[in-house]
Structure 1
């Protein structure tokens, strides 16, 4: 991720290789500045990495403009042909495919993307050319909006694009899906019904005697299945030498091949695998109260997956197996916690996880339900155990925070400021529960 929520002081930030507008001349400047890498400081190396990323985005945007021009010339045969006897038209994808060493199909997709980036998605291409959005995320915008008409695509783009430069690929993907659900709820529900009808299981051959078992399920079923499998794996105990991933894989294979039958642990005639915690698997679904009551079809959120259509959220909420978080669509404040089928943690921990939703490290989307709660100011000697000093962090980022040179500060608005060992600063905000 680059061009994210880098903090700025009261004055304009000092110009570095990481914030200079990309151009052909900037490419020469980068080449000159990095000619002797050993002479650069750690911070300068990070800035150079960002600079090259921005330059690559600029080059991709310029290439997209060239491809769009080539594609448009081949669109109706009315403008310049290759020669008097060879009009472009249908040969465009073949020509570009051969030139770039890609398949004809890939070239067709590339040309279609660049045409749209020169049309309704031109604001997205402008961000790419400014080096503020990488090609991977630009392609994501094209892919997610490919089936939408220009009017709807423009509306989704307008809603999502301002925050795009500061988001990872996964965060931008979630924002795009959420915006599509909000602006086209009927179409989203229809697409979900069609996709649900395609649920299936498949197997793909791999290397070294391995294979992949693949399942297409509804998002709630997939999330719940994985959570339950994880509980079973952890229930095998700390003495089991296998990693958690290996345990999950072995348990899945044992259950599906009949080597292990899951039965009541109280039964005396079987050896049962007991989950680390009892009860049904926990998944968290954020549902605006107006959507739950059917007043609107605002997008909902399955934590750990992303936006889901309102009809699917209502279907989940109707089943008392699921935990529900009801939110105020005006203020984003958590109003009530469902408690019917899952024993909750302490009220304070529950509040922190509901507030943060995911790990508070920049770019991390691990659900807060599986994260650790960390004291920003260490409890020993003088940190307090309260809402103003607790955040959700996944184990990896919890460990990173404790390393020398890393600093975190939780502000009054619960925005978390990270300072890296090279002095770069980034900020993550608490989850906004409002409908967007």
Structure 2
């Protein structure tokens, strides 16, 4: 077809974008009988094809399970007895048939029933191969306690972007949507969950165990940040890894073998541990001004964790030092330094990290606060140090970008396009602080050249 004198060709059909079906399963079988003859790109497409086929099968199975449970005792499936309706023994029958426990079968049947009812749009995406079963199950789990009206509203909000999101990204989107659409219920659920805070211990193998704590999200994030500062404060000459230092310090503090003192008091004391930087641990909470003032209860974002209720964000605000991060027209912050400096000044670094929120690699949710700032066009020989050439990348993806065959390009809308060695392309967008969603169109949109 023609659009503004530009010829728009339909996408090339591959094993990775064909609608799944039983016949497609046969096509996949024949196409992959000799995997050694497939190119790298074809192998990737085949892997996607099998993923889509598995999703299609899961959706069909959900329809079957829902029909089985929904039949009455006098239907085509005969009940055990007239006094025992089918619903009461369906989980036992399915548990035996699928070799799972009765409780697991009950959950599977409940999910199937919801997917055939209010969550039918989610099942349709699953059947079309656009959503894997783990993400469809996540939708079921997060909406399990919501009534049908609220569940449908949350589903309508998150589903358009869901096919391009990882499990963790979809989880954050679901939690944010629930907070936005049911702020009163979110506050009540947080109070209930907060009452269940506790510490527990679980036996492990090889003489190890897990110490587990259920805390509020800000307390957990702050505790981990402070423990990391203490671990880094031991110095680079310490032979232990950072994880080992954190574990050893936690055990030493909680068992009384180590007492923490402030830096001044520790100057003449070689036993005390001093953090690498003093003061309260830095945690970043993104709060709309209207929520901060109490005008509404819009969901807020604890960077590195995800959405939190407005009630909890205001509690954090009452005991915090705030830094206002706004766009250039309001602050006059310089966002372009050209070739005058390689290392981004603090104001520019803050702006880029606040813009990106997480690593800009598809599917990565490492907080931008712990990421490196990468020059998309290398500074040497001719890249610039500016907002239009900087993105947050975790060390692993920063290193990956430099490998042969990998390319990145930052567009005018700050969407970052990745091209892999097989020719597949993926896009990630800057974070939209109004919706809490990274755009445009999700964080990972594969397409072939």
TM-score, normalization by structure 1 = 0.91
Contact 1:5 1:427 in 2 (8 A): no
Residue 182 (structure 1) shift? 0.4
Q: How does 1:19-34 map to 2 (within 5 A)?
A: 19-34=17-32
Q: Following TM superposition, by how much is the alpha carbon of 1:393 offset from its aligned partner in structure 2, in angstroms? A: 0.5
1:365-415, Cα deviation, whole Å (9 max, x unpaired): 111100000100110000001111000001110011111110000000100
Question: How far has the Cα of 1:264 moved from its partner?
Answer: 2.2
Change in CA separation of 1:85 and 1:6 when aligned onto 2, cut-off 3 Å: farther
The residue number in structure 2 matching 1:256 is 254
Instruction: Report the CA distance shift for 1:338/1:36 in structure 2 as closer, same or farther (over 3 A).
Output: closer
**Pair 1:33–1:121, CA change in 2 (3 A):** same
Q: In the superposition, relative to structure 1, how do residues 118 and 377 fare at CA in structure 2: closer, same or farther (>3 Å)? A: same
Deviates more, 1:126-135 or 1:334-343: 334-343
Distance 1:326 1:426 in 2: 28
- Find the aligned partners of 1:325 and 1:297 in 2 and give their Cα distance: 20
1:334 Cα deviation from its structure 2 partner: 14
Distance 1:322 1:4 in 2: 49
| Cα deviation digits, residues 319-377 of structure 1 (max 9, x gap) | 13465657999999999999999999711111111111110000111111000001001
Work out whether residues 332 and 432 of structure 1, in 8 Å CA contact, stay in contact via their aligned partners in 2. no
CA 1:113–1:387 in structure 2 vs 1: closer, same or farther (change >3 Å)?
Answer: same
Alpha-carbon displacement from aligned partner over 1:210-253 (angstroms, at most 9, x marks no partner): 00000000000000111111111122222222111111111111
SS, match of residue 324 in structure 2: strand
Distance 1:72 1:338 in 2: 66
Alignment check: 8 A CA contact 1:2 1:166 kept: no
- Is contact 1:325–1:336 with CA below 8 Å preserved after alignment? no
Further displaced range: 229-238 or 353-362:
229-238
Distance in 2 of aligned mates of 1:238 and 1:7:
59
Seen in structure 2, the aligned counterparts of structure 1 residues 143 and 279 have a Cα distance that, compared at 3 Å, is same
Q: 1:83 to 1:201 in 2, by over 3 A?
A: closer
SS of structure 1 residue aligned to 2:7: coil
1:99 Cα deviation (Å)? 0.6
Q: Secondary structure at the match of 2:267?
A: coil
Return 5+ residue gaps in structure 2 as ranges: 434-446
Deviations 1:65-86 (A, max 9, x none): 0000001015898975468797
SS class of match (1:326): coil
Equivalent residues of 1:280, 1:341 under 8 A apart: no
Secondary structure of the structure 2 residue equivalent to 1:391: strand
- 1:172-195 superposed Cα distances (whole Å, 9 cap, x missing partner): 000000000000000000000010
Q: Displacement, 1:89?
A: 3.0
Quick one: structure 1 residues 130 and 160, their matched pair in 2 at CA, closer, same or farther if it must change by over 3 Å?
same
Q: Structure 1: how far apart are the matches of 2:448 and 2:221?
A: 22
Counterpart CA distance in 2 for 1:395 and 1:199 is 34
Deviation at 1:276, TM superposition (A): 2.0
Q: For 2:300 and 2:331, locate their aligned partners in 1 and report how far apart those are by CA, in whole Å.
A: 16
DSSP 3-state at the match of 2:335: strand
Which range moves more in the overlay, 132-141 or 70-79? Answer: 70-79
With over 3 angstroms needed to count, the CA separation of the structure-2 counterparts of 1:152 and 1:2, relative to structure 1, is: farther
Counterpart residue number, 1:65: 63
CA deviations on 1:7-57 (whole Å, 9 max, x unpaired) are 9978xx100000000000000000000000100000000000000000000
Q: Quick check: 2:337–2:385 contact (8 Å CA) kept in 1?
A: no
- In the alignment, is the contact (CA less than 8 A) between 1:323 and 1:341 conserved in 2? no
Structure 1 pair 140/204, CA: closer, same or farther in 2 (3 Å)? same
Distance 1:290 1:339 in 2: 39
CA contact (8 A) 1:3 1:165 kept: no
Maintained 8 Å contact 1:417/1:427 = yes
Paired with 1:134 and 1:269, the residues of 2 have a C-alpha distance of: 56
What secondary structure sits across from 2:66 in the alignment?
Answer: helix
Q: Relative to structure 1, is the Cα distance of residues 220 and 339 closer, same or farther in structure 2, using a 3 angstrom cutoff? A: farther
Following TM superposition, by how much is the alpha carbon of 1:277 offset from its aligned partner in structure 2, in angstroms? 2.1
CA distance, structure 2, for counterparts of residue 391 and residue 81 of structure 1: 61
1:256-299 CA-to-partner distances (Å, cap 9, x unmatched) read 11111111234524522222222211110010111111110000
Mapped contact 1:285–1:323 kept (Cα < 8 A): no
Indicate whether 1:435 and 2:435 are aligned: no
Could you tell me which residue of structure 1 aligns to residue 148 of structure 2?
Answer: 150
Q: Summarize the Cα distance change of 1:83–1:39 in structure 2 as closer, same or farther, 3 Å threshold.
A: farther
Paired with 2:107 and 2:8, the residues of 1 have a C-alpha distance of: 39
Aligned length in residues = 434
Gaps of 5+ in 1: none
Q: Rate the CA distance shift 1:373–1:336 in 2: closer, same or farther, 3 A.
A: closer
Find the counterpart in structure 1 of residue 376 from structure 2. 376
Counterpart contact for 1:263–1:270, Cα < 8 Å: no
Q: CA 1:203–1:322 in structure 2 vs 1: closer, same or farther (change >3 Å)?
A: farther
Greater alpha carbon shift after TM alignment, 343-352 vs 35-44: 343-352
Query: What is the CA deviation profile of residues 96-145 of structure 1, one whole-angstrom value per residue up to 9, with x for unaligned ones?
Result: 00111111011011101100100000000000000000000000000000
